[in-house]
Chains A and B, each alone.
Chain A
Amino acid sequence: MTQFLVLLIYGLSEGAILALAALGFVLIYKATGVINFAQGEFLLIGAYTFYTAFVIFQLPILIALLVGVVVAVVVGVLVERLILRPMVGQSHISIIMVTIGLAAVLSSIVQMFFGTQPRAMPNLFPTGSVEILNGSIPANRLWTLLVAAVVLTLLTVFFQKSKHGIAMRSVADDEQAAMTVGISVRRIFAMSWGLAAVSALIAGVLLADLTTVEMGIVNFGLLVFPVVILGGLDSVPGTIVGGLTIGLVTQFTAGYLDPGLAGVAPYIVLVLVLLVRPYGIFGEKRIERV
């Protein structure tokens, strides 16, 4: 029971981070149709930017976070403007190749400045542990879960209810019709990339707080693929459930079965789900009438 509870919290906290990272991927895919292979690198850039502001320049945490957000938005919007926009109308494969290239460039830039040595960051959350049902749960895991849940909720509400969220979904549905109601498709594309980079920043910082600031963050970013395919690629609630599922599967496999198996477990689940529901758990069934 105790082990179960610990694994549950570990799985949920990592799953929530994963959901944040994947949500950025889904935003870009939904609004612009681009499959962004550089999402993991956005996590990396986010973590290192925050590290630079918070540890190297010793800025207060909120200011450091603000710096991170600004850099994330600038990087996201520049990537859209300079790299993806000229690619409009090109084949999916060419665009995928471009984002793979972008991933390589971004991670080399980070490596150029910071090398490959992991860097320690002071704890962002209270350490200590909380006793629940005889189990002792590290407090920072609970904080991570809380912060991720708040950000995920804010993003979901933004997407479902706000004027710009509705505009983003309109563009995802029908670009030309969106233009006829006065939505600037280019601005929405830029906004999607900016938001994706911000959600990656938060995921990257939370992850770096649980582990260290290191290039390995990119590998964690790769897990967005099982998450989004599980969640159906274009569904926000699906992405959140997908992230939590993958987080839990990884932890429970490591805890109850074999830590070595934990790395492949997400992909095994992925294959099983795809066999049963090819459009993911929450994938929008395309509405064909109209």
Chain B
Amino acid sequence: MSATAGVGPVPGGPPVDETGASSTVSGYMRVWWQGVRAGELGSLPIIVGLVVIVITFTLLTDNFFSERNFTNLILQMAAVATMAIGIVFVLLVGEIDLSVAFVSAVGAVVMTLLLRPGDPGWPWWAAIGFALLCTTTIGFLHAIVITKAGVPSFVVTLAGFLIWSGVVLILTTQYSTAGTIRIQDSTVIGIANDFLSPVWGWILGVAVVAAFAAVQLRTSMTRRARNLAAKPIVLIALQTLGLAAVTFAAIWYLNEDRGVPKVAVILGIALAFWSFVAARTRFGRHVYAVGGNAEAARRAGINVDRVRIAVFMISGFMAGVGGIMLASRLRSVATNTGSGNLLLLVIAAAVIGGTSLFGGTGRVIAALLGALVIASIQNGMDLMGLASGTKFVITGLVLLGAVLVDAFSKRRRAARGGV
């Protein structure tokens, strides 16, 4: 192998068998459990948390567990999850973006203004494209200040928070006396208000499960062919069955109401795409490296600033997508677009989902899991008719709990060496 050029194999060095231990289901589970005990918790706490939340509210309220409410839950959390994907990337490199909510609002307002019939009356795709270009550019501008001037992202994006909230106010009040601008384009309104027909819902579900199985099988085969430890086929079959059960149950349940929401499809595509980028590409690897040890990344020849700039652009882009979803759902933008607790919900979603604030750990799926937790809690508390003060307190406590899990598992990892 050319990789070892300069240093030939040393005879007598014992071959290390890697295929033995972890190629059986029990071996695989054992390795996973060791990881958990060592503080590599992954998505475990959050899934346990979700189950607890669902059971609690099902017991406490009459209609938490209903087709209608399940659909509403997805509609409520889609935009937050979408924006949280961008935040996951920013957190992965150990930075923060406090401007997402108002950047999303800028995207929504720009799109809405461009769509106004006859003035200028852009087609939906052009208006959306330009809006996303704007929000991505905003992310780029933040990142330039952060990397070139060396100002902490906390401060730069806090300034962005103020600036872009001002821009939203200026634009909305300038173009409407009432402070509300309605969206009339049916395609844009359809983003958050349309549903797939039952048949398309099923086709989609089958496609998702089949794609999962195909990717897993292919990975396992290639690794086996190269004599490397591979996920056992039995485990892949079990996982596929599990995924199929959950997916099909969800689709059946959604079809009982209005069908699979279009936003769910958009969110699904975004999750799949960005998961691929984070886990399977060179860029994704560099994101984790910068978050884990920026100096090591620099010495390895990685352009750390370029990685930082890219994640803020991703954050801006995903903020734009989320903002468009929210505007579509409300069929309008207004002076208060992007305000309220949107920012807090988005960041909380990423963190509750298991993205470490210390940088370097977390997965894109955290955005979905965290947004689900937050939306479930809020939705459940709404159904219980709790006062908004109480709701804030409880949401805050959940966030605190998630951060504590992160801190403790980090300490656990550190206790085992390194960090």
A binds B: no
A residues neighboring B (CB under 8 Å): none
